[in-house]
Chains A and B, each alone.
Chain A
Amino acid sequence: EERMVESGGGLVQPGGSLRLSCAASGFTFSIYYMHWVRQAPGKGLVWVSRINTDGSSISYADSVKGRFTISRDNAKNTLYLQMNSLRDEDTAVYYCARDEVGAPNFWGQGTLVTVSS
């Protein structure tokens, strides 16, 4: 069975850091582009970042550029999102998503990040 499980969310103070992980299983992780997408409570979807198969091509939303870093370890079938200098407005459920058709078509269930003092 194909699965992606996010972890690493939690409560962090403004200015703090957090690293999210997305563990993939049941499919060949290394052949897919991967994304992070977030959703603040009661709000819409916001694309955060994308990485290609070997990590050589990466893009970010302007709102996180310079603060967040996406990476992957194909040997461990895991996607990461290092989040630094966190702000209140980064509070959201963070989803990892697999890209098979140019757009994310398989999603994890999400992990909640709360930035608050």
Chain B
Amino acid sequence: DIQMTQSPSTLSASVGDRVTITCRASQSINSWLAWYQQKPGKAPKLLIYKASSLETGVPSRFRGSGSGTEFTLTISSLQPDDFATYYCQQYNSYSRTFGQGTKVEIK
């Protein structure tokens, strides 16, 4: 199975900060990567698919990049609503896998 490793596990930031989360795959997944945001007690919300395509309705401050084995999610200017946990997921193989998550906390 393809393993997905996110870093960091926790990130402390302030409103207005630029934030970057990294996701590494154990083998090439081309661009078959998605990013999700999840708030406590809620279902995940898709932000980015195919590594860099913005899901409809998602603010443009969210940007995804990368291909192969290394990917990043960048939030250009952190907003109060963005404090949440973020997950990457590969969908290159029949067996999909998530990263372990990155919690973005208020500094």
The answer to whether A105 and B46 have CB atoms under 8 Å apart is yes
Interface of B toward A, CB cutoff 8 Å: 1, 32, 34, 36, 38, 43-46, 49-50, 53, 55, 85, 87, 89, 91, 94-101
The answer to whether A45 and B87 have CB atoms under 8 Å apart is yes
Which of chain A's residues have a CB closer than 8 A to the CB of B91?
A: 102-103
Report the bound CA distance from A44 to B89 in whole Å.
12
The answer to whether B49 and A105 have CB atoms under 8 Å apart is yes
Report the count of interface residues on A (CB-CB < 8 A). Answer: 21
Which of chain B's residues have a CB closer than 8 A to the CB of A109?
A: 43
Residue-wise, chain A 57-75 has the 8 Å CB interface mask toward B (1 for contact) of: 0011110000000000000
- Given A44-B100, A44-B101, A107 contacting B44 (CB threshold 8 A): yes
> Quick one: which of B32, B49, B96 contacts A50, CB cutoff 8 A?
B96
Report the bound CA distance from A47 to B93 in whole Å.
12
Look across to chain B and name the residue whose beta carbon is closest to the beta carbon of A99.
B91
Look across to chain A and name the residue whose beta carbon is closest to the beta carbon of B46.
A105
Cβ-based interface call for A9 (8 A): no
> In the assembled complex, how far is the CB of residue B87 from the closest CB belonging to chain A, in whole angstroms?
5
Look across to chain A and name the residue whose beta carbon is closest to the beta carbon of B56.
A105
Cβ-based interface call for A14 (8 A): no
Report the bound CA distance from A37 to B87 in whole Å.
13
Report the bound CA distance from A43 to B69 in whole Å.
24
6 A-B pairs (CB sep. < 8 Å): A50-B94, A62-B1, A101-B53, A102-B34, A104-B44, A108-B43
Look across to chain A and name the residue whose beta carbon is closest to the beta carbon of B87.
A45
- Given A62-B1, A95-B43, A108-B43, A47 contacting B89 (CB threshold 8 A): yes
Report the bound CA distance from A32 to B36 in whole Å.
19
Residue-wise, chain A 90-111 has the 8 Å CB interface mask toward B (1 for contact) of: 0000010000011111011110
> Quick one: which of B43, B89, B99 contacts A103, CB cutoff 8 A?
B89
The answer to whether B55 and A105 have CB atoms under 8 Å apart is yes
Report the bound CA distance from A106 to B91 in whole Å.
16
> In the assembled complex, how far is the CB of residue B37 from the closest CB belonging to chain A, in whole angstroms?
11
Cβ-based interface call for A31 (8 A): no
